[in-house]
Chains A and B, each alone.
Chain A
């Protein structure tokens, strides 16, 4: 029993290495709605995968990458505000997913429920390998493009005049977000994955002295949240992901007791 928890805890910790810095950018760029849209649409990817008997991990990944590209395209060609586009896509994909689920057998429906809450306790060794691969790829990309992404976030026009290819950087950022969410969904669950991105970063924002500092503090807060959540989940038999998120929210509230100049 304890080995399962240890593996689950390890997976959670490894994921925070990515959700910390990536979440910082999501908070700076005010993109948490985007994270929400991807989480909700993932149900469609999952149900299609289950119905077609393809490993849902790949269908979810493919769908999220596809939807991210659609969102960028729609934002470019239409005069609708981004959050309107996100709203339309969230609920149309979610509804399509829900209808697909309704045609499934009862057994298959069970696996869908697991997917909402995630299952940190059914981690296999090969899952850990995938997570480690994710970390290496996403962290490498973040570090490589770190300065350009910061410049783009502070003022896009200044970045463009200074030679940053803002379309390419924006696209890369959205794609690594889609990949991170689709990998994390399997373990953290689609309902609360956005929380793991947003809450640690929002908490660290008050204390950080530099962007890199904020990314690191977000990782630390994530580690604390995962550890506390897993401990409570072990001793009191609560589901792991919501427990983690609840602790993260408590840390956020507690941070407001510390006075900042």
Chain B
């Protein structure tokens, strides 16, 4: 399995506090990773470390050379005062052809957004558009930050199906950062539970036989969601 990024004993300090302590894990190709954790757990900080936006206080990070990364950030930090359409925005990437943009938008079911201005997009539409943009460079690693925030369960089911297809098409590693502590994408290969350090990690448990789950989310839901059982050997006092 091709190791794309390897973190070894990474510590991140900010304002004399350790935001991340002793983080070690490996991201490999063709696998889906989900990071979960409460607010303030350092999920966004960990993403920034992976993306190279932040340098760790100590520890080692080994990256594959010239790693092609596609990033879908949270929608909050976008400056939409520039009058720019989705099409124009996607053209800002290096050497992109018109047909690739159209294909990418069709792939994520966002072709109807092509001529809308960035400030006209809703949160969910912005996420889809950013995913289409990230796919333009055929990334080896796709990082999705709080990708399903504010989207209902039906919407999440559709998105998870899409992400899984992308994994098989591009053979890329996919990192999903989620705010949900218990329900994760069913096809996740590895879940990392984070609370300033790695509390636990493992695979999710499938729920396709769980009658109550089927009653709540429908049969499609059982294919796309899974319950993650935390195994903590310690306690946190909040």
What is the interface of chain A, defined by CB distance below 8 A to chain B? Answer: 27-29, 147, 150-151, 153-155, 157-158, 160-163, 205, 208-211, 213-214
CA distance A205 to B130 in the complex (A): 24
CA distance A211 to B48 in the complex (A): 29
Q: List 30 A-B contacts (CB under 8 A).
A: A27-B81, A28-B79, A28-B82, A29-B79, A150-B92, A154-B79, A154-B82, A157-B53, A157-B71, A157-B73, A158-B73, A161-B51, A161-B52, A161-B53, A161-B69, A161-B71, A162-B71, A162-B93, A163-B94, A205-B81, A205-B83, A208-B83, A209-B83, A210-B84, A210-B85, A210-B88, A211-B83, A211-B84, A211-B88, A214-B83
Measured between C-beta atoms, what is the minimum distance from B17 to chain A in Å? 15
Given known pairs A160-B53, A161-B51, A161-B71, the reply for A28 and B81 (CB within 8 Å) is yes
Q: Which residue of B lies closest to A162 (CB)?
A: B93
Q: Which residue of A lies closest to B117 (CB)?
A: A209
Given known pairs A147-B92, A157-B71, A161-B69, the reply for A213 and B83 (CB within 8 Å) is yes
Measured between C-beta atoms, what is the minimum distance from B80 to chain A in Å? 8
Flag B40-75 by CB within 8 Å of A: 1 or 0 each.
Answer: 000000001001110000000000000001010100
Closest 9 CB pairs of A and B: A161-B71, A208-B83, A147-B92, A151-B92, A28-B82, A155-B78, A154-B79, A161-B51, A28-B81
Flag B134-155 by CB within 8 Å of A: 1 or 0 each.
Answer: 0000000000000000000000
Question: Is B77 close to A, CB under 8 A?
Answer: yes
CA distance A209 to B82 in the complex (A): 10
Our pick among A158, A161, A162, A211 for the contact of B82 (Cβ within 8 Å) is: A211
Measured between C-beta atoms, what is the minimum distance from B50 to chain A in Å? 10
CA distance A77 to B78 in the complex (A): 24
Q: Which residue of B lies closest to A146 (CB)?
A: B92
CA distance A209 to B116 in the complex (A): 11
CA distance A158 to B84 in the complex (A): 16
- Chain B interface size band reads 20 to 34
The reply to whether A210 and B92 form a contact with Cβ atoms under 8 Å apart is no
Secondary structure of the B side of the interface? loop
CA distance A150 to B79 in the complex (A): 10
Measured between C-beta atoms, what is the minimum distance from B214 to chain A in Å? 39
Q: Which residue of B lies closest to A150 (CB)?
A: B92
Flag B164-200 by CB within 8 Å of A: 1 or 0 each.
Answer: 0000000000000000000000000000000000000
CB neighbours of A213 from chain B (8 A): 83
Question: Is B118 close to A, CB under 8 A?
Answer: yes
Question: Is B213 close to A, CB under 8 A?
Answer: no
CA distance A147 to B95 in the complex (A): 11
CB neighbours of A29 from chain B (8 A): 79
Question: Is B89 close to A, CB under 8 A?
Answer: yes
The reply to whether B79 and A155 form a contact with Cβ atoms under 8 Å apart is yes
Q: Which residue of B lies closest to A212 (CB)?
A: B88
CA distance A40 to B235 in the complex (A): 57
Measured between C-beta atoms, what is the minimum distance from A193 to chain B in Å? 22
CA distance A87 to B179 in the complex (A): 40
CA distance A162 to B137 in the complex (A): 10
CA distance A213 to B118 in the complex (A): 16
CB neighbours of A153 from chain B (8 A): 79, 82
Measured between C-beta atoms, what is the minimum distance from A255 to chain B in Å? 14
The reply to whether A158 and B81 form a contact with Cβ atoms under 8 Å apart is no
Q: Which residue of A lies closest to B76 (CB)?
A: A155
CA distance A158 to B51 in the complex (A): 10
Q: Which residue of B lies closest to A207 (CB)?
A: B83
CA distance A122 to B34 in the complex (A): 67
Measured between C-beta atoms, what is the minimum distance from B120 to chain A in Å? 11
CA distance A154 to B118 in the complex (A): 10
Our pick among B77, B83, B84 for the contact of A157 (Cβ within 8 Å) is: B77
CA distance A158 to B88 in the complex (A): 16
CB neighbours of B92 from chain A (8 A): 147, 150-151
Measured between C-beta atoms, what is the minimum distance from B51 to chain A in Å? 5
CB neighbours of B89 from chain A (8 A): 154
Q: Which residue of A lies closest to B72 (CB)?
A: A158
CA distance A150 to B89 in the complex (A): 9
Given contacts A28-B79, A154-B84, A158-B73, 6 further A-B contacts (CB under 8 A): A28-B81, A154-B118, A157-B48, A162-B94, A205-B81, A213-B83
